Chains A and B, each alone.
Chain A
C-alpha cells in the first residue's frame, strides 16, 4: 500500500483521555515532520480493539495487548519525545513502503 490516503493513527492509554491525548500531540508533530498525511485519534485499549488503524502508538503495557491490531505498532516510553517518535515511525514506514 502506498500513501494514497491519510493514515489512521491511534494513540492508546488506559483511559483514553489524558496520556493518549498528550501522545496524540506528539504524534501529530512527528507525522508533520515526516510529511505524512494522517488522522490521529486517542483512545483507551478496549476501544482500540474495535478499530482498524494503520498505526498504533503507546507504552509497552498497552501495545503488548494489541499485537495484531495494525500493520505498524510503535512502542515508546516517553510520550513527549517527538524526535524519537519520528525516528521510530520513519523506520517502520520505510519498511512498509509508505516512505521512500
Chain B
C-alpha cells in the first residue's frame, strides 16, 4: 500500500523550499529518510527543471538509494507559485513527490497517478482547501496501489 501525505496551502520562498516541503511530507510519513529532501533539490540542480512536467506541476523525487524506504506519494499545494526556471511550465503551484525503495516498486503507484492526472487530478488537488481534503483526493486517486 502506498504511503500518502498531503499539505494544502503551504508557503514557499522559492523552488528549493517547495521541493523540500513536498519531500519532507514523505519523511514525516515514514516513507523516506531524512536525507531525501536535499537529494530531491540536488536532482533539480544537477539535471535541470525538467521535473516540471506540466503547467504548474512539478514531480519531485530522487533515486531509491537517496533514502526511499517505502513507496510514498505526497502532494503539496502552494499559496504563492514559485518559478523553477522551466521555459514553458512555470510557475509551479502543485508539487507531487514520490519515493521508492527500488527502481520498480513505484511504477504501479506512479502510473496510477499519471492516469488520474490525465483525468483532472491536478485540478482536484488544487481545489482542496485543507490537508484532509487534499489527502482524501490523493487517496481516491490511488485506491488499490
Binding site for B on A (CB under 8 A): 13-15, 17-19, 21-23, 25-26, 29, 59-62, 77-82
Chain A residues closer than 8 Å to B46, beta-carbon distance: 14
Q: Given A25-B114, A26-B114, do A62 and B53 touch, yes or no (CB 8 Å)?
A: no
Chain A-chain B contacts (Cβ-Cβ < 8 Å), number: 69
| Chain A minimum-CB-distance residue to B97 | A18
Q: A18–B115 Cα gap in the complex (Å)?
A: 14
Task: Tell me the minimal C-beta distance from A34 to chain B in angstroms.
Answer: 16
Chain A residues closer than 8 Å to B48, beta-carbon distance: 14, 61
Q: A26–B54 Cα gap in the complex (Å)?
A: 12
The tally of residues in B whose CB lies under 8 Å from a CB in A reads 30
Task: Tell me the minimal C-beta distance from A51 to chain B in angstroms.
Answer: 17
| Chain B minimum-CB-distance residue to A23 | B53
Chain A residues closer than 8 Å to B88, beta-carbon distance: 77-78
Q: List 9 A-B contacts (CB under 8 A).
A: A13-B50, A14-B43, A14-B50, A17-B106, A22-B110, A25-B118, A77-B87, A77-B89, A80-B117
Chain A residues closer than 8 Å to B118, beta-carbon distance: 25-26, 29, 80, 82
- Is B144 on the interface with A (CB-CB < 8 A)? no
Give the contact stretch, choosing among B10-18, B55-63, B132-140: B55-63
Chain A residues closer than 8 Å to B111, beta-carbon distance: 21, 25
Chain B residues closer than 8 Å to A15, beta-carbon distance: 43, 47, 61, 63
Chain B residues closer than 8 Å to A13, beta-carbon distance: 50
Contact A81 B54 (CB under 8 A): yes
| Most chain A CB inside 10 Å of its own CB: which residue of B48, B53, B57, B117 | B53
Contact A60 B87 (CB under 8 A): yes
Q: A23–B110 Cα gap in the complex (Å)?
A: 11
Chain B residues closer than 8 Å to A25, beta-carbon distance: 111, 114-115, 118
| Chain B minimum-CB-distance residue to A12 | B50
- Is B141 on the interface with A (CB-CB < 8 A)? no
Contact B61 A80 (CB under 8 A): no
Contact B43 A21 (CB under 8 A): no
| Chain A minimum-CB-distance residue to B89 | A77
- Is B127 on the interface with A (CB-CB < 8 A)? no
Contact B53 A22 (CB under 8 A): yes
Q: For A21, give its contact among B47, B57, B107, B122 (CB under 8 Å).
A: B107
